[in-house]
Structure 1
Amino acid sequence: MGVPGSKKVLMLVTTAFEPDPRVYREALSLQSHGYQVTVVAWDREARLPSLERYDGVTVWRYRRKAKVGGRFRQLGGFLGFFRYAWKKLCQDKYDILHCHDLDTMPVGLAARLKGIKVVFDAHEADYYNLYPPPFPTLFEVLERLSARCADGVALTVGVQWQKYGGWHILRAVQLRNVPPRSFAERAALERRDDERPFTVGRIGFIKKGVGIEELFEALARLRHDGYEVEGLLAGKLHPDIRAEFEERLARAPYVRYVGSVPYPEVPRYYAKLHVAVAVYTRWEEHRYITPTKLLECLACGVPVIANPVGDVAQLAEKYGGIVLVEEPTAEALTEALRSLLSEPSRLQRLREEVARTRGEFTWETMEERLLTLYAEVLKS
């Protein structure tokens, strides 16, 4: 899809952009289809260069130290970032201002008054519910105003669709942070399910709250009951759990930990899994997010055992490939795995469901939606 006259896009993010995976994918997709993309980011540690270029995408950084969070304590930092972004916006003629997250939309609202087209990329905007009153109400007013004033809206999780539908926001698309099709196809090509024992695990950051302890316990129970099942873990290990993790690993020779894995090699490890685990402790923020790792598993054709955080329950109903457990406990995980080990036909059915729908969870699908949204915004 070509873009007459090389339309210019300015993206705003209040992170340092090192780069941020989803924002970067959006920028590259637009750049590869004829847009000229510039990113303005906020480096809160003031440690990165003020100007960088990534694959043709120009990144300007506002370098002011500040901690994430803090509500009013960061007001000065936000005002400084808004001034910096506004100056960049006014220095050159941009066709679209793409605001990532609600905290960049004050600039977006000002840009609309100036006649610049605005895309509001909401990400997980419901995070404002984690603040004490009256902040949730104030942020919801800002979000509703932002959604109605923007020329186009991008959403992440399914629960946002219900809310935005109630606000009668018509020009909206869903953009998830998912891997490219080539990444997913590598996992499918390397899969050899019949050449190894039933293997379950996680490919991703090894930390508390993502089902690691529960997986160790479930595997121990199943092997005690005579099931031939092994574990595979790959990913960076959080230092806070290193001692406990190494102790568990020493007692479980049937669990293999391969350490941190370069991103291009990740599909090789997904190919070794019969089923992945994505059970998350029910912390408050998990009400509003759908784990990226769960989407990555589905893209790579791996069935997942998961609990209903974010819009996981809706994904299970619509696409299949997911075994839902109500609670993220070792008992629930054990029974879910036992059912798959005892009924191979059920696992096969899950694989077929994932194979039919995994294209939904690749970046090429998101790119098509993004380009369609931009085309509609430019016509509006």
Structure 2
Amino acid sequence: MKENSKNTKKKVVMLLTNAFDPDVRVYKEAVYLISKRMDVTILCWDRYHASSLPKKEKIDGIKVIRFNIESVAGSGAKQIPAFLKYISCCRKWLKKHKPDFYHCNDIDGTITWYLSKSNRAPMVFDMHEFYEDYEPKTSLSVFIYRLMTGFFIKRSFYSLYENNLYLKDNYRSVYDKLVPLKNYPDTNLVQCVPKTESEVFRIGYHGAVRGQIKEFATLFEAVKGMPDVRVNVHGGGPDLEELKELEKNYENVTIHGPFDGTKELTNLYANSDIVFAGYTQVSKSCECDEMVKFFECIVTGTPMILTNTYKLMAKQIDEGGFGIACDTDSIEEVKKAIFKLKTDRAFWKKCADNEKKAAYKYEWNNAVKILDKVYEIS
């Protein structure tokens, strides 16, 4: 590939099927590329009919263009007509703007690229998730997602992965395309500060709410009748409305809704004594998943309760002393874990101190440098 002249910025177009309000991982990557003198535009799909987000704006140097096409996230095949309209919007825009790189977020981003690309510029496939675990999960859906993922990895310039399952045999033929970019916290966005004082023990959850109703219900039942405990759930997603209905049954649970992950995380963690990270226990990706909340807890010194079937994270929690891994579908086990962290102050402090000592291993500013290789930045 020919190098652009020193005075010409390479143009990167990111394809993103959410509204970027903002998507923190995408924001972090875009900001890094801008710091390397690249021009970044994000073509977003804003699904909300009454959205208050502007159709065009500039955020910290990132050019954001939103196509407002009504749809319900997570509604399966019902989204297809709206998705095709989004692709059509991208195709029209790309006919007039030829990028030097396409950066496709998730598999729907690569589908958009395949159907709308206007030139032969390299494509970077940014795999935020392990797609074979998408619900509803069947042997046929696993086969299709595996086939599609391999197809797009093969056609990518590089593919960024978070989950180490991509290093298993199913993707052996495309190993040379794979580079790791774990979603570590950016210390410019979330910092370790002392916990604020509180008369109650605060359990936080800060992130997307999706597919975790059972785990949240377990947590809410575990704290029922504990007047000295408060649960605060921050985040938007498909589960939000159902969680708001559940909230009505508990005096010490508050569902706050969406938050700005580029501005509010430091304060949210400062006001959380522990974090509850309960996830569905049936997914194949349990073996290798590392959630961003896991990393955020470590860099902020916030002990956590985590689902014990997530083997890689659970092992680090047990060996590093970061909190408690347990069966988060068991009310008694969750209650026991809360009681231990709430009443044994020495144990809580040891967990927090262990996390702070280990935080250097989980630095975004080191991990993101892999983009220098991906984008041929000298």
TM-score by length of 2: 0.76
Q: What is the CA–CA distance in structure 2 between the aligned matches of 1:242 and 1:14, rounded to whole Å? A: 25
* Residue number in structure 1 paired with 2:304: 304
* Residue number in structure 1 paired with 2:108: 103
Structure 1 position 180 matched with structure 2 position 182:
no
* Residue number in structure 2 paired with 1:65: 70
Q: What is the CA–CA distance in structure 2 between the aligned matches of 1:61 and 1:196, rounded to whole Å? A: 41
* Residue number in structure 2 paired with 1:271: 270
Q: For the structure 1 residues 211 and 270, does the alpha-carbon distance in structure 2 shift closer, same or farther, using more than 3 Å as the test?
A: farther
Percent identity, aligned pairs only, is: 21
- Of the structure 1 ranges 166-175 and 152-161, higher mean CA displacement relative to structure 2 is found in 166-175
* Residue number in structure 2 paired with 1:316: 317
User: How many Å apart are 1:217 and its aligned residue?
Assistant: 4.8
**For structure 2, which runs of at least 5 residues remain unmatched after alignment?**
none
User: How many Å apart are 1:3 and its aligned residue?
Assistant: 9.3
Secondary structure in structure 1 of the residue aligned to 2:21: coil
One of 30, 40, 45 as aligned partner of 2:33: 30
* Residue number in structure 2 paired with 1:170: 176
One of 214, 232, 235 as aligned partner of 1:234: 232
CA contact (8 A) 2:304 2:322 kept: yes
Structure 1 position 82 matched with structure 2 position 87:
yes
Q: How many residues align?
A: 361
Alignment deviations for residues 101-121 of structure 1 (CA, whole Å, 9 cap, x no partner): 112223545799953111001
Q: For the structure 1 residues 60 and 197, does the alpha-carbon distance in structure 2 shift closer, same or farther, using more than 3 Å as the test?
A: closer
* Residue number in structure 2 paired with 1:40: 43
| Structure possessing the higher radius of gyration over alpha carbons | 1
User: How many Å apart are 1:30 and its aligned residue?
Assistant: 1.2
User: How many Å apart are 1:355 and its aligned residue?
Assistant: 1.2
* Aligned AA (2:97): D
Q: For the structure 1 residues 36 and 246, does the alpha-carbon distance in structure 2 shift closer, same or farther, using more than 3 Å as the test?
A: same
User: How many Å apart are 1:358 and its aligned residue?
Assistant: 2.1
Q: What is the CA–CA distance in structure 2 between the aligned matches of 1:318 and 1:154, rounded to whole Å? A: 28
Q: For the structure 1 residues 232 and 373, does the alpha-carbon distance in structure 2 shift closer, same or farther, using more than 3 Å as the test?
A: farther
* Aligned-pair Cα RMSD in Å: 4.1
Secondary structure in structure 2 of the residue aligned to 1:277: strand
* Aligned AA (2:58): R
User: How many Å apart are 1:270 and its aligned residue?
Assistant: 2.6
* Aligned AA (2:275): A
Alignment deviations for residues 204-224 of structure 1 (CA, whole Å, 9 cap, x no partner): 379773755544554568x7x
* Residue number in structure 2 paired with 1:147: 153
* Residue number in structure 1 paired with 2:371: 370
- Of the structure 1 ranges 27-36 and 12-21, higher mean CA displacement relative to structure 2 is found in 12-21
- Of the structure 1 ranges 171-180 and 95-104, higher mean CA displacement relative to structure 2 is found in 171-180
CA contact (8 A) 1:10 1:96 kept: yes
Alignment deviations for residues 88-138 of structure 1 (CA, whole Å, 9 cap, x no partner): 334233211101111222354579995311100111123446354534322
Secondary structure in structure 1 of the residue aligned to 2:125: strand
* Aligned AA (1:58): K
One of 49, 57, 72 as aligned partner of 1:52: 57
User: How many Å apart are 1:41 and its aligned residue?
Assistant: 2.0
Structure 1 position 191 matched with structure 2 position 190:
no
Alignment deviations for residues 224-281 of structure 1 (CA, whole Å, 9 cap, x no partner): xxxxx942433459554556535532xxxxx586967965454345335443222235
* Aligned AA (1:201): I
* Residue number in structure 1 paired with 2:333: 332
CA contact (8 A) 2:91 2:117 kept: no
User: How many Å apart are 1:164 and its aligned residue?
Assistant: 6.8
User: How many Å apart are 1:38 and its aligned residue?
Assistant: 1.0
Q: What is the CA–CA distance in structure 2 between the aligned matches of 1:114 and 1:338, rounded to whole Å? A: 59
CA contact (8 A) 1:109 1:149 kept: no
User: How many Å apart are 1:169 and its aligned residue?
Assistant: 1.8
Q: For the structure 1 residues 210 and 21, does the alpha-carbon distance in structure 2 shift closer, same or farther, using more than 3 Å as the test?
A: farther
- Of the structure 1 ranges 339-348 and 355-364, higher mean CA displacement relative to structure 2 is found in 339-348
User: How many Å apart are 1:163 and its aligned residue?
Assistant: 5.8
Q: Which is richer in helix?
A: 1
Q: For the structure 1 residues 151 and 53, does the alpha-carbon distance in structure 2 shift closer, same or farther, using more than 3 Å as the test?
A: same
User: How many Å apart are 1:176 and its aligned residue?
Assistant: 4.3
Secondary structure in structure 1 of the residue aligned to 2:324: strand
* Aligned AA (2:152): S
